[in-house]
């Protein structure tokens, strides 16, 4: 376990990753990115984990963006290659289990892009969220121009990216950048209840749901419907589906084993 990233396994098939550089507002440097890659790789193969929560250490920041000190003297070709080599954003999007961003404070630049790579987002009402790269003479480089308009529409994406303005968690919920904003003192309990609820489900069904919903972004409707139907039929091969149906008919709670 690297100390810039805390990895915890909690009851209810939940794993929690905490970016742990609170003195730098949890800015993402190469060490954190490497630790996230390794943790995702381990947790993807850990059958006991069915849902992942990502958050930031301390009460001030989720992630205040890429570590800007790494931009000083960075050259375009190396920058392009390092971003092409592998991205934590793609690794989160393609992680085979649901991922929830628990946004507890500043969620800026690469932090906002990381949150948008997650499957769900819950924010503290007092979080500050935005894409302030324009202040550095930059634009978002980890999906902000692509994922933000898909979530909030083109106008809000233009406004946030071009002005660098930060919005509250409350406002982010109003425009659809996060699904829910809750009072800071309720954030952890809200997210853990959601994660526990999801973690009690069949992991194969969760993966099928994630892949099928993501397919809606890139497939025309008829292709997406076919993709969904294939997953639906495939799930009839799982013990979990048999258990879910039996449990319903026997009026008891299903116990999913992941097989």
- Residues annotated as catalytic are 113, 133
Q: Does the protein bind ligand COA through residue 108 (CB under 6 A)?
A: yes
The Cα 91–Cα 74 span in angstroms is 24
The Cα 215–Cα 112 span in angstroms is 22
- Of the candidates 218, 1, 13, the one whose C-alpha atom is nearest the C-alpha of residue 100 is 13
34 membership: H or E segment, kind and range:
helix 30-44
Q: Does the protein bind ligand COA through residue 143 (CB under 6 A)?
A: no
Given the complex with ligand COA, which of 68 and 158 has the nearer CB atom?
Answer: 68
Among 39, 67, 99, 156, binds ligand COA (CB under 6 A): 67
Q: Does the protein bind ligand COA through residue 68 (CB under 6 A)?
A: yes
Q: Are 61 and 26 in contact (CB under 8 A)?
A: yes
Stretch that binds ligand COA, among 9-17, 119-127, 132-140, 236-244 (CB under 6 A): 132-140
Among 53, 64, 173, 254, binds ligand COA (CB under 6 A): 64
Q: Does the protein bind ligand COA through residue 240 (CB under 6 A)?
A: no
Among 109, 169, 199, 244, binds ligand COA (CB under 6 A): 109
Q: Does the protein bind ligand COA through residue 24 (CB under 6 A)?
A: yes
Q: Smallest distance from the beta carbon of 18 to ligand COA, in angstroms? A: 17
Q: What is the CA radius of gyration of the chain?
A: 19
# of chain residues touching ligand COA (CB under 6 A): 16
Q: Beta strands 51-56 and 106-108: pairing type?
A: unpaired
Q: Are 249 and 229 in contact (CB under 8 A)?
A: no
Q: Smallest distance from the beta carbon of 217 to ligand COA, in angstroms? A: 24
The Cα 76–Cα 150 span in angstroms is 28
Given the complex with ligand COA, which of 110 and 199 has the nearer CB atom?
Answer: 110
Stretch that binds ligand COA, among 67-75, 76-84, 154-162, 247-255 (CB under 6 A): 67-75
Q: Are 34 and 78 in contact (CB under 8 A)?
A: no
Q: Does the protein bind ligand COA through residue 69 (CB under 6 A)?
A: yes
Q: Per the structure block, which two tokens stand in for 14?
A: 């939940």
Strand partners, 108: 130
Q: Does the protein bind ligand COA through residue 56 (CB under 6 A)?
A: no
3-class DSSP state of 21: coil
Q: Does the protein bind ligand COA through residue 79 (CB under 6 A)?
A: no
The Cα 226–Cα 232 span in angstroms is 10
Q: In the window 165-224, what residues touch ligand COA (CB under 6 A)?
A: none
Q: Smallest distance from the beta carbon of 131 to ligand COA, in angstroms? A: 8
3-class DSSP state of 251: coil
Judged by the rule CB under 6 A, the positions of this chain that interact with ligand COA are 24-25, 27, 64-69, 106, 108-110, 132-133, 135
């Amino acid at each position: 376990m690297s100390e810039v990233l805390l990895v915890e396994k909690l009851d209810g098939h939940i794993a929690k990753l905490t970016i742990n550089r609170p003195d730098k507002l949890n800015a993402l440097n190469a060490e954190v990115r490497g630790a996230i890659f390794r943790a995702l790789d381990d947790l993807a193969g850990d059958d006991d984990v069915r849902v992942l929560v990502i958050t930031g250490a301390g009460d001030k920041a989720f992630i205040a963006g890429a570590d800007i000190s790494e931009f000083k003297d960075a050259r375009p070709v190396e920058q392009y290659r390092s971003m092409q080599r592998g991205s934590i954003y793609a690794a989160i999007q393609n992680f085979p289990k649901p991922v929830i961003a628990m946004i507890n404070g500043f969620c800026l630049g690469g932090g906002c892009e990381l949150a948008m790579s997650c499957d769900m987002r819950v924010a503290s009402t007092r979080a500050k969220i935005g894409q302030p790269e324009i202040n550095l003479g930059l634009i978002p480089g980890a999906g902000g121009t692509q994922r933000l308009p898909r979530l909030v529409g083109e106008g809000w994406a233009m406004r946030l990216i071009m002005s660098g303005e930060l919005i509250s968690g409350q406002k982010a919920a109003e425009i659809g950048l996060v699904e829910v904003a809750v009072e800071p003192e309720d954030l952890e309990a809200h997210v853990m209840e959601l994660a526990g609820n999801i973690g009690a489900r069949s992991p194969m069904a969760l993966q099928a749901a994630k892949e099928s919903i993501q397919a809606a972004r890139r497939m025309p409707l008829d292709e997406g419907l076919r993709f969904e139907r294939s997953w639906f039929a495939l799930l009839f091969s799982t013990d979990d589906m048999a258990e879910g149906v039996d449990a319903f008919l026997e009026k008891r709670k299903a116990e999913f084993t992941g097989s």
